[in-house]
Amino acid sequence: MTSADELFQQAANNYQRLGIEHSPFTESPTGLQSQTLQQVFTGRTNELKQVFNQFQSRERRRILVFGRIGIGKSAFLLEVLGTLQRQLPEMLSTYISLPADLDLATTALIALARAMPDDDWAQQQLYQMGIPTAKTLKERSAEVSGSLGIGGKLSEKDLPIIKPQYPTVSLETLLERAQQHYPRGVLIAIDDLDKQNPRRVRDLMHDAQGMLKGPAWFMLTGHPYGMTGDLLTSERGLFDLQIELQELDHPTTYQMLINYLNSVRIGTKYDDVADPRSVLPFSPEAAQKFCQASLGKPRLFNRLGNIVLSTAANLEAQQIDLDILDAGLKEARPALLQQAALSAQEERVRMLLEQRGSLGDDTISLEDLQQLGFRSYSEIFPILERLEAADLAHQLPQADATVFESIPLPPAEDPPQ
Ligand SMILES: Nc1ncnc2c1ncn2[C@@H]1O[C@H](COP(=O)(O)OP(=O)(O)OP(=O)(O)O)[C@@H](O)[C@H]1O
Ligand SMILES: [Mg+2]
């Protein structure tokens, strides 16, 4: 009988046989402190240029980054912040993902206070909100070390937060304190503006007008339709720059695969796109086909990457040729389904989408709706978005925002019944 230790070693060996230390693919970007994002981040050249141009000004700016689920908003934001921290140390750059049910001013206050671990007043603000401060975090270091400073998400166990009575006033005070040490000012990047509750965005923005017009720089991200288009129309004048992130083109996706693989490659790294060794363990044909399957969508790319690598490892393959790739892609739909853990109703919508190939306002019939237990298409919309988040559906780039298609993946060998 094989011991667990031996099994673990075998699993590691199966990845090493492919010439890599471990899988480089992740569903969400690794935090700001890690080197990994810098190694794997690919493309978005024009978008980065536009953002960095804004930072050539002394006047504070507000920037909105929007794009579909999993298109790379967080990665883009973190790449911008990482660069600013290296290139513009006179500016304090902070990142936070909007916590559930918090207003923007409180969120900004938390982000800033966490980036000022040496400022007693800042730490006191956190303490009063019931948020572990740098000091208490250090004491529980092993468990939460990643979330120190500008680490990003507040974990569930830190909530509920005791909201300060006058967050905007506290934020102003904190900004003044920060500006003493950072002459170029403070950048507060708030990610996931509309992830928790798309309907609240309008109110959130409305309440935050004063703060947004204040002295801090802001970068915000959200989904174009989650934000109900409101932000992009009614609040248009508020932003100095609005950037939409779209699917990566094929050459960029191919380069992204090279970067991911090189970040974990054992031995010599090959950077030249023309060198077939740059995509090892993939054969160049399999690499091309893999990039096509990922549709230029970074999260789908990462999810498929994990599935294909683990299939190849299980098959004890040394290379991923077209056959191994196909075996991996066949695993993709069942794997994505399992991960998504859909409710019965969500599954019915998914089945209908798969049957039809696409679903939209105009193509769905009253009968379809009744069978699914809905009265209107707009009621299904959140379910379709949930399918999109699980990479089980997507919207064609540039297409009518309300039409969803199923993701083209090869059928599984034995379709789950
Ligand atoms: N340009 C890029 N180069 C390399 N990796 C990327 C790039 N863009 C995104 N990724 C990676 O793809 C995955 C999904 O991206 P990310 O989490 O940034 O998407 P998102 O738009 O923030 O998603 P959500 O809508 O769920 O918040 C992450 O692992 C991220 O690191
Ligand atoms: Mg994100």
In terms of domains, do 223 and 208 share one? Answer: yes
Same domain, 105 and 140: yes
**pLDDT in the model for residue 226:** 59
Cβ of 106 closer than 6 Å to ligand 1, yes or no, is no
Residues 190 and 108: beta-carbon distance below 8 Å = yes
**One domain, residues 302 and 163:** no
Which residue puts its alpha carbon closest to atom 5 of ligand 1?
41
Tell whether 77 and 202 lie within a shared domain. Answer: yes
Helix (H) or strand (E) holding 241: strand 241-244
- The CATH number given to whatever domain includes residue 361 is 1.10.10
Tell me, yes or no, whether 240 and 253 share the same domain: no
* Closest among 286, 233, 277 to 258, alpha carbons compared: 277
Same domain for 75 and 154, yes or no, is: yes
8 A C-beta contact, residue 129 and residue 171: no
366 within domain boundaries: yes
For residue 149, what pLDDT is reported? 42
Question: 212: Cβ–Cβ under 8 A, 6 or more apart, which residues?
Answer: 62, 104, 205, 218, 238
Residue 69 CB less than 6 A away from ligand 1 = yes
102 and 199 in one domain? yes
Name the domain boundary from 297, 323, 339.
Answer: 339
Ligand 2 center from residue 191 Cα (angstroms): 7
What does the pLDDT read at residue 395? Answer: 85
Q: Contact, 171 vs 75, CB < 8 A? A: no
> 40: Cβ below 6 Å to ligand 1?
yes
R_g of the chain computed on alpha carbons? 23
Residue range(s) defining the domain that contains residue 174: 44-244
Q: Ligand 1 pocket test: which of 71, 261, 263 has the largest number of ligand atoms within 8 Å of its C-beta?
A: 71
Same domain, 178 and 120: yes
User: What are the pLDDT tens digits along the chain (417 aa)?
Assistant: 789 999 999 999 999 999 999 999 999 887 666 778 989 999 999 999 999 999 998 889 999 999 999 999 999 999 999 999 999 999 999 999 998 888 899 999 999 999 999 888 999 888 888 887 766 555 554 444 444 344 556 654 555 778 888 888 899 999 999 999 999 999 999 998 887 676 778 888 888 888 888 899 999 998 876 565 566 556 667 889 999 999 999 999 999 999 999 999 999 999 899 999 999 999 999 999 999 999 999 999 999 999 999 999 999 999 999 999 999 999 999 999 999 999 999 999 999 999 988 888 888 888 888 888 888 888 888 899 899 999 999 987 665 667 899 998 887 765 544
The H or E element that residue 59 is part of is: none
- A 10 A CB-CB count for 35 gives 10
Distance from residue 38's CA to the centre of ligand 1 (Å): 13
The rounded Å distance from CA 30 to ligand 1 centre is 10
Q: pLDDT value at position 146?
A: 40
pLDDT at 401: 65
Between CA 94 and CA 117 the distance in angstroms is: 12
Tell me what pLDDT residue 142 has.
43
Report how far residue 288's alpha carbon sits from residue 46's, in angstroms, rounded to the nearest whole number. 24
Residue 383 forms part of a structural domain: yes
Same domain for 331 and 345, yes or no, is no
194 and 240 part of one domain: yes
Instruction: Name residues whose C-beta falls within 8 Å of residue 124's C-beta, 6 or more positions apart in sequence.
Output: none
Structural domain includes residue 379: yes
**Domain containing residue 274: CATH number:** 1.10.8
Start-to-end Cα distance in the chain: 33
Distance from C-alpha of 71 to C-alpha of 229, rounded to nearest angstrom? 18
The answer to whether the beta carbons of residues 196 and 222 sit under 8 Å apart is no
Residue 389 lies in a domain: yes
Which residue has the least CA distance to atom 15 on ligand 1? 72
Residue 312 lies in a domain: yes
Tokens describing residue 299? 């999260």
Last residue of a domain, one of 339, 365, 397: 339
- 398 lies in some domain: yes
Co-location of 62 and 194 in the same domain: yes
> What's the whole-model pTM score?
0.90
What is the domain count for the chain?
3
The answer to the question of residue 1 being in a domain is no
- What separation in Å is there between the alpha carbon of 70 and the centre of ligand 1? 6
Q: For residues 310 and 179, what is the distance between their CA atoms, to the nearest angstrom?
A: 49
pLDDT of residue 2: 81
